[in-house]
Amino acid sequence: MTHLHFLWPWAFALLPLPLLVAWLAPRAEEQRPAALRIPFFTALRGGISAPGARRSRLWLALAALGWLALIVAAARPQWVGDSIEVPVSGRSLMLAVDISGSMATEDMVIGDRAMDRLTAVKAVAGDFIQRREGDRIGLILFGSRAYLQAPLTFDRKTVRTLLDEAQIGLAGRQTAIGDAIGLAIKRLRSQPEANRVLILLTDGANTVGNVDPLKAADLAAQEGIRIYTLGVGADSQLIRTPFGLTRVGGSDLDEPTLKAIAAKTGGEYFRARDVEGLFKIYALLDRIEPVSKDNLNYRPVTELYGWPLALALLMSLLTALGRAGVFRLPAAWRERVHA
């Protein structure tokens, strides 16, 4: 149930402070100006003193309203919304995506349209990220070097956006699988041990880098990090030549190493030869590492102190300008106050 709440209600105890100051503080001595005698003093007093007193009461009322608004702002008014349930699993899931030059190979098909491997990975992995509500998701992009693109966060939308913005060759044209695992270990080791997961996606073999992939896997196993390795790419592809369509090449994928990495850490190795295979793999990962059903309840809080604070500043400004004779209230306002 929504309601208004004051975080510091004790601030209202300060409301009578101006009255206490006026009552207890010694009065300032009045300095009487030299007397000026005029024959029509009585008429002058009758025409000026009453309106002057009314003006004093008016500015006093504005000052009192400003003081009240200031006290309300000091009490920190908040609007507390309805309770919201947020599913939380506590898993820390890092994605390491290969963006080396070989990911530009166009051997993946969605519908009737051929596309490169990275584009297919973005489409499928982005959907996987969106489903992992309650998990902390991080993103590593690697080629010749490994870079942390997004730290572990609950903000799945931002992680997906950063994945969509990844470009082939941005981290170099070669493949540093060991460095990517090492960077993931560095980011995951501070998380709860039972929930550390790395999903490593590549279409090649380790060709460069400072860390051997198998040694990195041993270190990951010591840190309690499960690594799921995904090999991407068709075994061969059709290319158009002057002589027609020709099936060429094969995959540079180092499957034995990827299988060993997964086995050392208690994970699994998956092979995705097409987009449909990628979808099946991510669906399987959802079952292997399910999103927890635990919920965290919280109530959204909106701070409101800015409104009474702005009113207090406005009243202070009007009072200061009015007493200085710079500002006068509209006639309708004055008549209402005087009445």
Structural domain count, the chain: 2
pLDDT in tens, 74-96: 999 998 888 766 555 567 889 99
Do 142 and 98 touch, CB atoms closer than 8 A? yes
Q: Is the pLDDT of residue 336 over 90?
A: no
> Are 8 and 57 within one domain?
yes
Question: Are 95 and 205 part of one and the same domain?
Answer: yes
Distances in whole angstroms, Cα of residue 43 to Cα of each of 34, 39, 47 = 20, 9, 6
Residues 199, 231: one domain? yes
Query: For residue 29, is it within any domain?
Result: no
Q: What pLDDT score was predicted for residue 222?
A: 94
Residues 15 and 149 in one domain: no
Is residue 131 within 8 Å of 291, Cβ to Cβ? Answer: yes
Answer yes or no: do 216 and 174 share one domain. yes
In a domain, 226, yes or no: yes
> Has residue 163 got a pLDDT over 90?
yes
**How many Å apart are CA 336 and CA 323, to the nearest integer?**
19
Token couple for 125: 């992995």
In a domain, 31, yes or no: no
If DSSP states are collapsed to H, E and C, what string results for 54-95? HHHHHHHHHHHHHHHHHHHHHCCEEEECCCEEEECCCCEEEE
Phi, psi (deg, nearest 5) at residue 152: -60, 125
Same domain, 317 and 277: no
Position 135 in a domain: yes
For the record, the structure tokens of 21 come out as 């100051």
Examine the domain organization and report whether 177 and 211 are in the same domain: yes
- Residues 208 and 173: their CA atoms lie apart, in Å, by 10
Most confident of 21-30, 181-190, 287-296: 181-190
Residue 297 has pLDDT above 60, yes or no: yes
Residues 163 and 276 in one domain: yes
Question: Model-level pTM?
Answer: 0.59
CATH of the domain at 96: 3.40.50.410
Asked whether residue 52 falls in the same domain as residue 132, the answer is: no
How far apart CA 269 and CA 280 sit, in angstroms, is 13
Whether residue 45 is found in the same domain as residue 175:
no
Q: What is the pLDDT of residue 192?
A: 80
On whether residue 115 sits in a domain, the answer given is: yes
Q: State the residue range of the domain holding 53.
A: 3-24+39-81+300-338
Torsion sign, CA atoms 165, 167, 170, 173: positive
Q: Are residues 133 and 180 in the same domain?
A: yes
| 12 within a domain of the structure (yes/no) | yes
pLDDT (tens digit per residue) in 226-246: 999 998 877 655 555 555 545
Both 49 and 121 in one domain: the answer is no
Q: pLDDT band for position 39 (50/70/90)?
A: very low
Whether residue 115 has pLDDT greater than 90: no
267 domain residue, yes or no: yes
Tokens standing for 41? 């003093």
What values do phi and psi take at 35, rounded to 5?
-70, 140
Asked if residue 152 belongs to a domain, the reply is yes
Does residue 120 have a pLDDT over 80?
A: yes
